């Protein structure tokens, strides 16, 4: 067996343990009784430590050195590169920090579920303090080795190659035109008459509609499932994808779009190259690309006029006792494209959503770079909400700085992926439309050509290419936010 093959076997072993960790974490968020959290957190921390020790095994350094001199195919060279990248990132952290961060994150996330409900910032802050401290320690370690700013080093975990310099440029551009666009859209929509969802929509009926929509979107239910959690997410592994959403019986719109969003994540996972399964090179390219797929499904497809035309008969089918007038396609289009600045990121419309991300990016950037304290977050959050969206969260922690799950386990650097994903999604759609009549495909419920384009250009590539290479190869150019701007203008002002 070659040194490269030995490395592959080792990383497939790591993938198996990551599989168990993913399912355990899903169960902790969805099925586990509250009383099991302490022991589950301890078990997950032990598993995290074991995975970390496998990822930093002493023999790997020599194996990498020897594999470099072996004759490898182009795919094998990319595979070796991705294994080496993971190894380098893993070897930076001491075992005790990995275990401590896992324990602190589990404790903080579990308590957050009730603390958020109770608007208990003071209680949350006690656990959050340790998560921030350990994350800052990790950021410093990574920064020293990579010669980057601490936040850039954390950002690299989710969006390899990205930097504050790049994000500051992109987000500054968005801030220069999004506020005016938002005002124009609100002014245009002010005179539009529509029927708001004001009735009761039973959870079970919402779930069935969600399952039908997932089927329309090509979700493989033999390798995944839909459940309920306090925060929607897509977890598990490519052969066993776990989607969750949350239901509000006063509003069927948000849960359904949440399902469409997570189905985009799931289709990406299910479409990753089977031949490379278990290897880093077979994994998703980055969180920005991952979010591009979920936002392609939710925004580019899910809120298009053509797709909403397909949802109209589904709503009539699943809510037969409700007023059918609200489910008319023309009315649904107004519901699904309503622009209203609001507190909650996951419920935000497509136009105001980037403001939620920019706000979080600016706070976590300064937090990891040591410019602010975790205690400053509520006040900064309120200031930025007023500046970017014109609403105040003073004293409203549950709908302000406590609303997201990401920071509870120290996932600092993740948030920019959402808006990068929205920009990539618009760019992918523009490229796809040069080859595929997307509108006709949706109208005829013949979505296979759309999925084939995504599979051939994004999904099957895994991590064979860098993010820039993937975007250039599939669209002909690097990241270009003008497609996103054009998309919003056409949909909301056209």
DSSP characters over 19-87: HHHHHHHHHHHHT--GGGHHHHHHHHHHHHHHHHHHHT-THHHHHHHHHTTS---HHHHHHHHHHHHHH
pLDDT of amino acid 91: 92
H helices present in 149-296, as ranges: 150-158, 164-189, 203-216, 253-271, 287-295
Query: What does the alpha-carbon distance between residue 290 and residue 243 come to, in Å, rounded to a whole number?
Result: 14
3-state secondary structure of 344: coil
3-state secondary structure of 433: coil
Paired tokens of 455? 């599979």
pLDDT of amino acid 285: 97
Paired tokens of 368? 């990891």
Query: What does the alpha-carbon distance between residue 189 and residue 379 come to, in Å, rounded to a whole number?
Result: 32
The DSSP output letter for 395 is T
Q: Are strands 224-228 and 240-245 parallel, antiparallel or unpaired?
A: parallel
3-state secondary structure of 131: helix
pLDDT in tens, the chain (494 residues): 999 999 999 999 999 999 999 999 999 999 999 899 899 989 998 999 999 999 999 999 999 999 999 999 999 999 999 999 999 999 999 989 989 999 999 999 999 999 999 999 999 999 999 999 999 999 999 999 999 999 999 999 999 999 999 999 999 999 999 999 999 999 999 999 999 988 999 999 999 999 999 999 999 999 999 999 987 899 999 999 999 999 999 999 989 999 999 999 999 999 999 999 999 999 999 999 999 999 999 999 999 999 999 999 999 999 999 999 999 999 999 999 999 999 999 889 999 999 999 999 999 999 999 999 999 999 999 999 999 999 999 999 999 999 999 999 999 999 999 999 999 999 999 999 999 999 999 999 999 999 999 999 999 999 999 999 999 999 999 999 999 999 999 999 98
pLDDT of amino acid 95: 87
CB 256 within 8 A of CB 246: no
- Number of Cα atoms under 13 Å in the Cβ half of residue 376: 13
User: How crowded is residue 262: how many other Cβ atoms within 10 Å of its Cβ?
Assistant: 27
Spatial neighbors of 182 by CB under 8 A, at least 6 apart, are 339, 341, 351, 352
Structural Rg of the chain based on CA atoms: 22
pLDDT of amino acid 346: 85
Query: What does the alpha-carbon distance between residue 293 and residue 489 come to, in Å, rounded to a whole number?
Result: 21
List the one residue out of 247, 442, 422, 186 whose CA is nearest residue 329: 442
Catalytic sites, residue numbers: 262
pLDDT of amino acid 427: 98
CB 177 within 8 A of CB 486: no
Which strand (E) or helix (H) includes residue 378? helix 377-389
CB 402 within 8 A of CB 123: no
Whose structure tokens read 């990241």?
479
Spatial neighbors of 79 by CB under 8 A, at least 6 apart, are 4, 8, 276, 279, 280, 281
CB 130 within 8 A of CB 62: no
CB 477 within 8 A of CB 426: no
Q: Could you name the CATH architecture of 165-493?
A: Orthogonal Bundle (1.10)
């Amino acid at each position: 067996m070659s040194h490269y093959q030995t490395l592959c076997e080792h990383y497939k072993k790591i993938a198996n343990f990551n599989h168990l960790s993913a399912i355990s974490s899903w169960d902790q968020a969805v099925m586990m009784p509250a009383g099991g959290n302490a022991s589950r957190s301890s078990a997950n921390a032990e598993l995290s430590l074991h995975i970390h020790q496998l990822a930093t095994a002493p023999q790997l350094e020599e194996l990498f050195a020897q594999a470099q001199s072996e004759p490898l195919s182009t795919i094998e060279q990319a595979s070796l590169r991705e294994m080496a990248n993971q190894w380098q990132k893993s070897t930076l952290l001491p075992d005790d920090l990995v275990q401590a961060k896992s324990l602190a994150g589990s404790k903080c996330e579990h308590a957050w579920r009730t603390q958020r409900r109770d608007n208990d910032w003071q209680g949350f802050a006690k656990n959050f303090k340790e998560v921030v401290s350990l994350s800052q320690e990790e950021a410093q370690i990574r920064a020293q080795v990579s010669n980057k700013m601490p936040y850039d080093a954390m950002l690299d975990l989710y969006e390899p190659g990205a930097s504050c310099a790049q994000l500051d440029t992109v987000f500054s551009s968005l801030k220069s035109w999004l506020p005016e666009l938002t005002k124009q859209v609100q002014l245009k929509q002010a005179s539009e008459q529509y029927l708001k969802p004001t009735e009761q929509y039973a959870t079970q009926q919402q779930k069935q509609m969600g399952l039908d929509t997932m089927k329309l979107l090509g979700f493989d239910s033999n390798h995944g499932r839909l459940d309920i959690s306090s925060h929607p997410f897509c977890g598990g592994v490519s052969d066993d994808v776990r989607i969750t959403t949350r239901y509000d019986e006063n509003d069927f719109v948000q849960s359904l779009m949440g399902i469409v969003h997570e189905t985009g994540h799931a289709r990406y996972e299910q479409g990753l190259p089977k031949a490379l399964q278990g290897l880093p090179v077979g994994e998703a390219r980055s969180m920005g690309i991952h979010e591009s797929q979920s936002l392609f499904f939710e925004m580019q497809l899910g809120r298009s006029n053509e797709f909403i035309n397909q949802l109209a008969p589904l709503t009539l089918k699943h809510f037969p006792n409700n007023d059918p007038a609200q489910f008319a396609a023309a009315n649904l289009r107004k519901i699904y494209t309503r622009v209203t600045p609001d507190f909650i990121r996951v419920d935000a419309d497509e136009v105001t959503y980037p403001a939620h991300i920019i706000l979080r990016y600016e706070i976590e950037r300064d937090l990891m770079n040591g410019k602010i304290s975790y205690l400053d977050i509520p006040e900064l959050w309120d200031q930025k909400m007023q500046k970017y969206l014109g609403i105040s969260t003073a004293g409203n922690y549950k709908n302000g700085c406590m609303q997201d799950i990401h920071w509870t386990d120290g996932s600092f650097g993740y948030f920019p992926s959402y808006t990068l994903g929205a920009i990539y999604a618009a760019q992918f759609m523009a490229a796809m439309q040069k080859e595929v009549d997307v509108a006709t495909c949706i109208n005829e419920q013949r979505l296979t050509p759309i999925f084939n384009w995504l599979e051939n250009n994004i999904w099957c590539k895994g991590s064979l290419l860098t993010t820039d290479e993937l975007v250039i190869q599939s669209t002909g150019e690097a990241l270009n936010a003008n497609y996103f701007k054009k998309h919003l203008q056409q949909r909301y002002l056209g």
